[in-house]
Amino acid sequence: MVAVRRPAKTPSPPSDDERLLVEAAQADPSAFDALYELHFERIYFFIFSRVHDRASAEDITSETFHKALASLPSYEYRGTPFAAWLYRIASNAIVDHYKRSNREQQLDDLEHPLAQPELSSHDLEFIERHVHFFRLVEQLPEVQRRVVCERFVEDRSIREIAQRLSKTEGAIKQLQFRALQTLRAQIGDRHA
C-alpha cells in the first residue's frame, strides 16, 4: 500500500450503533445487509492480503459471510468489535480453503502475522487504509471508476477498454491518469 501517515488505529470496542445493527440482524436476518456493507471491504482485503488471488479471495469471502449469517443467532457481545468475530471466521475459512485445495505449501504463508485472527494495531491500520482507499475508488466519477475497474480489477488492456467504452485509447489513458491523480490527491488530503 502507498505510504501514508496516519495515527495507528487500535481495536476499539463495539459501538452502540454496531451493537444495534447486530441485534437488528439477529431479530431479522434480512437486516444483515447493513453489517455486510459495513465490513465487506475489510474482510475481503484481510483475505486477499493472505491468499493474493482474486478468485480464492472471492470464494473465501463468500464462505465467510455465509457462515457469519448462519452463526449470527449465536453471536454474543463480549467486549470485542464485530469485525474481530468476522476476522476469526475468515481465518478459519482460509485454513479450510487451503485444506480443501490441498495446497500444503501455502500453509506456511498462514504463519504471516496477517494470517492470524489476532491482528496487531499495525495490521488493522494496514487493512483500514485499504478499506478507505477502496471507498475512494467507489466515489470516483462513474467513467473513471469504470476505467479503473476494467484496468486493474478485470485486467483489461487500454485497447480493450477503449473498444468497450467506444473511446480512443488516448482518452482512456487520460481518464486513467485523472483517476489516479484524484485518488493520490485524496489520500494526501486525508492522511497528510
Partner 1 sequence: MPKRSPAQQLDQAINAVLSVQQPLPEPNSHPRLAALVALVRPLRAVPHPEFKARLKADLHRKAFMNEAAATSLSATPADFRPPGFPNIAPYFVVTDAAKFIDFLVAAFDGTERGRYKTPDGKIMHAEVAIGDSVVELGDTNEKISPRPATTHVYVKDADAAFARALDAGATAIFFPTSDHPSGDRWGALRDPFGNIWHIATPGRWALGSAGMPRSVQPYLHLKEAHKMLPFLESAFNAKAMGVHTSPEGAVLHATMEIAGATLEIDEAHGEFQPQPCLLHVYVANPDALYAQAIAAGATTIEPPQDKPYGERSAGVKDAFGNLWYLARYTGRPQM
What is the grid cell recorded at 163?
473498444
Sites for partner 1 among residues 146-175 (CB under 8 A): 146, 148-149, 151-155, 158, 164, 170, 173-174
Between 77 and 134, whose beta carbon lies closer to partner 1? Answer: 134
Considering only 46-54, 75-83, 105-113, 116-124, which stretch makes contact with partner 1 by CB under 8 A?
46-54
How many other CB atoms sit within 10 Å of the CB of residue 148? 19
Q: Indicate whether 137 belongs to the interface with partner 1 (CB under 8 A).
A: yes
Tell me if 85 contacts partner 1 by CB under 8 A.
Answer: no
- Part of the chain binding partner 1 (CB under 8 A), chosen from 16-24, 81-89, 104-112, 139-147: 139-147
Query: Does residue 183 interact with partner 1 by CB under 8 A?
Result: yes
Q: Is 96 in the site for partner 1 (CB under 8 A)?
A: no
Select the residue interacting with partner 1 from 24, 69, 84, 95 (CB under 8 A): 69
* Cα angle for residues 90, 63, 102 (degrees, 5° grid): 80
Minimal distance, residue 181 CB to partner 1, in Å: 7
Task: Based on the shown chain and the rule CB under 8 A, indicate whether residue 37 belongs to the binding site for partner 1.
Answer: yes
Contact, 98 vs 107, CB < 8 A? yes
Cell of 99: 485444506
Any contact of residue 189 with partner 1 (CB under 8 A)? no
- Nearer to partner 1 among residue 12 and residue 190 (C-beta): 190
Positions touching partner 1 (CB under 8 A) are 1-3, 28-30, 32-33, 36-37, 40-41, 44-45, 48-49, 54, 57-58, 61-62, 65-66, 69, 130, 133-134, 137-138, 142-143, 146, 148-149, 151-155, 158, 164, 170, 173-174, 176-177, 180-181, 183-184
